[in-house]
Chains A and B, each alone.
Chain A
Amino acid sequence: MNVPRHWREQIRRYRLVGSKCTDCGRLSFPNRAVCPKCNSRNNENYQYVGRGKIISFTNINSPPKEHKYNLPFAVALIQLMEGPVITAQITDARAEELEIGMEVEMVTRKIMEYNDDGIICYGYKFRPIVEYAHP
């Protein structure tokens, strides 16, 4: 259990905050100290909307033990509507319910917990968009 590490990463994980290069405009996730396109060190935090499309996915059968509580679950490559592609767990849907091109939205869920006495790590996952119409 690495408490400081989870604490350092919590804003990125809770809110889906990445970075934007203020010189060339390139968006990154996770955030970068040096822009991978123009090598600029001028990068600021960037809040993603939290919507995207599945470009590939797979079912996880043998996860690390901290994730076993959640089996079975899918992990997908998701292209965010702003451009960057990220890897994330899918929640509220099994792999057989997913399709390439499916629109998904970010939710903050429990990623893992360290036994009954350790910290609980929360972070982004994606789920099929909740459709809604008002009465």
Chain B
Amino acid sequence: MKPNKSVGIIGYGAYVPKYRIQNTEIARVWGNDPNLVPIREKSVPGADEDSVTIAIEIARNAIIRAGIDPSDLRAVWVGSESKPYAVKPTSTIVAEAIAATPFVNAADWEFACKAGSETIQACIAFVGSGMAKYALGIGVDTAQGAPSDALEYTAAAGGAGYIIGNAKESLAIIEASVSYVTDTPDFWRRQHEHYPKHGNRFTGEPSYFKHVLSSSKALMEELGTKPEDYNYAIFHQPNRKFPIEVAKILGFPKEKVLDGLVSPYIGNTYAGSALLGLAAVLDKAKEGDKIFCTSYGSGAGSDSFSLEVTDKLAERKGKAPSVKSYIERREEIDYARYARYRKKIRM
């Protein structure tokens, strides 16, 4: 898919909360083998953080990098599966906090871990059609993992956001994108439930791999590109293993994936996952670099994007904290404090 007008990323922002819990600490509490944990540690939001506060910091970082007046944004879209309110938009609070109100389209998007990249697809269309000068799309989560469930080891907090604008102003031009979606019952959370359920055998082959591979192959076919044409590749990262494995099947060597692979250090930030990996790559990339990025959301689907970095990235990336600086800002907490921060103790 390509819009009529060429568009790109003019600013980006990321955020990861300060607190970390080690996977071995979770294994200790539930009596699981500490040698069989999926990642090293995951990020935990502080007691006063939620998807709204995380999205606000992301949006502010993106605006600083873009160097625009927030009132020029025509959309503030937030994709998340951890909305603080079931009814009342996260996006209006974010838009108000960054002074983008009132002539702005604000909405919350839902598609499990793909909600964030969905907003980017919509931003591309909104700007590419000429309806908007700038549009902001954010993927953010404070993901819920049921106590003792396999997902508790990785369900983390954080996200990233992108301001889409005209290609001429862009730090990275978005060459094209693809969406690939089917009805696959691999993971869900019903209304009023605190924690999601997952379909066990559905979480690998027929869900993540099928959608990420189909979407990625379709985009490369459409563009006539090959893995060798790209300097970096980012895939949705529910753990460390899946993105490396999917890259290998597609023909991307491990070295092209590692710079955007943040899940071993902060966990799976769900709607923020692939977008946060892309931000980590932009922190490092230089003019002329080509970037391939594919998200994945349960339910299920993938969005793939092909980007090329311009000369404007070098001057803009240093204006806000890098993903690395947020990852390195860490304070380890034990399971008791984690349980309190995540409201796992209900009184």
Contact = CB atoms under 8 A, between A and B. Distances in A.
Contact of A134 (B93, B283, B329): B283
B325 A120 contact: no
Nearest to B343: A69
B318 A110 contact: no
B198 interface: no
B322 A109 contact: no
A107 B15 CA distance: 12
B229 to A, nearest CB: 23
A133 B318 CA distance: 7
Contact of B97 (A110, A122, A133): A122
Contact of A91 (B48, B56, B96, B329): B48
A14 B47 CA distance: 18
Interface in B302-321: 317-318, 320-321
A20 interface: no
Contacts of A96: none
A135 to B, nearest CB: 5
B251 interface: no
Question: Interface range on chain A: under 10, 10 to 19, 20 to 34, or 35 or more?
Answer: 20 to 34
Interface string B316-346: 0110111011100100000000000000000
B321 A130 contact: yes
Contacts of B52: 110, 120, 122
Nearest to B96: A14
Given A110-B48, A134-B322, A135-B324, A10 B284 contact: no
A11 B99 CA distance: 9
A70 B326 CA distance: 22
Contact residues on B (Cβ < 8 Å of other chain), bracket: 20 to 34
A47 B57 CA distance: 17
Contacts of A53: none
Contact of A130 (B53, B93, B96, B326): B326
A17 B47 CA distance: 25
A122 B53 contact: yes
Interface string A98-127: 000000000111110000000010100100
A62 to B, nearest CB: 17
Contacts of A15: 97-99
Contacts of A91: 46, 48
Contact of B53 (A10, A107, A131): A107
Contacts of B196: none
B48 to A, nearest CB: 4
B49 interface: yes
Contact of B49 (A10, A109, A131, A133): A109
Contacts of B49: 109-110
Contacts of B283: 134-135
Interface string B142-185: 00000000000000000000000000000000000000000000
Given A10-B96, A14-B97, A122-B97, A134 B50 contact: no
Contacts of A14: 56, 93, 96-97
B288 interface: no
Interface in B194-238: none
22 contacts: A14-B93, A15-B97, A47-B99, A69-B47, A70-B48, A91-B46, A92-B18, A107-B53, A108-B57, A109-B48, A110-B49, A111-B48, A120-B85, A122-B53, A130-B325, A130-B326, A130-B329, A132-B325, A133-B322, A134-B283, A134-B317, A135-B283
The 4 closest A-B pairs by CB, nearest first: A132-B325, A132-B321, A14-B97, A109-B48
Interface of A: 10-11, 14-15, 47, 69-70, 91-92, 107-111, 120, 122, 125, 130-135
